[in-house]
């Protein structure tokens, strides 16, 4: 993997703050002319530093007012159990993030739903039907103090 220089880092930070920047606006922001700026962006994309461009959706405006953090412990760690769980959880739209964890739990899910009744239905219809889940623990977010912040570039 290549090392990032100061201009690459400026480009990455600017695009994290606003992925819709035009090349002209980006080049102005980082102090490059448009052609070398675009070349750097393409190189950052090709090297995997930039994996895509996304719109951040207002969850509450879309009716998704509840965020739950769900800890999952599997019944066992056989290849079949892990593969089945990971395959099935990838199909669940309400799960917006899934992390394999160290410690007492196997996975941490971030789940978004419209309310507590919807979460109960999600548990019944989407999680409880996945084989190999031994325990489920849920914490509900009261409010997000920091959400989708730019990743620090070392």
| 90-138 pLDDT tens trace | 999 999 999 999 999 999 999 999 999 999 999 999 999 999 999 999 9
**Residues 64-82, mean pLDDT to the nearest whole number:** 97
Residues in the chain: 154
pLDDT of residue 46: 96
- pLDDT above 70: percentage of residues in the chain: 99
Q: In the chain, what are the domain boundaries?
A: 6-46, 66-140
pLDDT of residue 116: 97
As given in the structure block, the two tokens for residue 52 are: 């895509």
Nearest to 72 by CA among 60, 58, 82, 63: 82
CA 34 from chain centre, in angstroms, equals 30
CATH fold label, 6-46: Arc Repressor Mutant, subunit A (1.10.10)
Nearest to 70 by CA among 144, 138, 146, 141: 138
The class of domain 66-140 in CATH terms is alpha beta
Q: pTM of the full predicted structure?
A: 0.86
């Amino acid at each position: 993997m290549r090392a990032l220089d100061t201009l690459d880092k400026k480009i990455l930070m600017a695009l994290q703050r606003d992925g819709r920047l035009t090349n002209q606006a980006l080049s102005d922001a980082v102090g490059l002319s448009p052609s070398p700026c675009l070349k750097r962006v393409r190189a950052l994309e090709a090297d995997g530093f930039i994996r895509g461009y996304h719109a951040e959706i207002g969850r509450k405006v879309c009716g998704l007012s509840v965020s739950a953090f769900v800890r999952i412990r599997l019944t066992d760690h056989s290849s079949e159990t892990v593969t089945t769980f990971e395959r099935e959880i990838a199909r669940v739209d309400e799960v917006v993030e899934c992390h394999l964890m160290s410690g007492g739990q196997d996975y941490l899910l971030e789940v978004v739903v419209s309310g507590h009744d919807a979460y109960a239905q999600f548990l019944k219809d989407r999680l409880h039907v996945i084989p190999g889940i031994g325990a489920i623990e849920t914490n509900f977010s009261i409010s997000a103090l920091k959400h989708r912040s730019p990743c620090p570039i070392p």
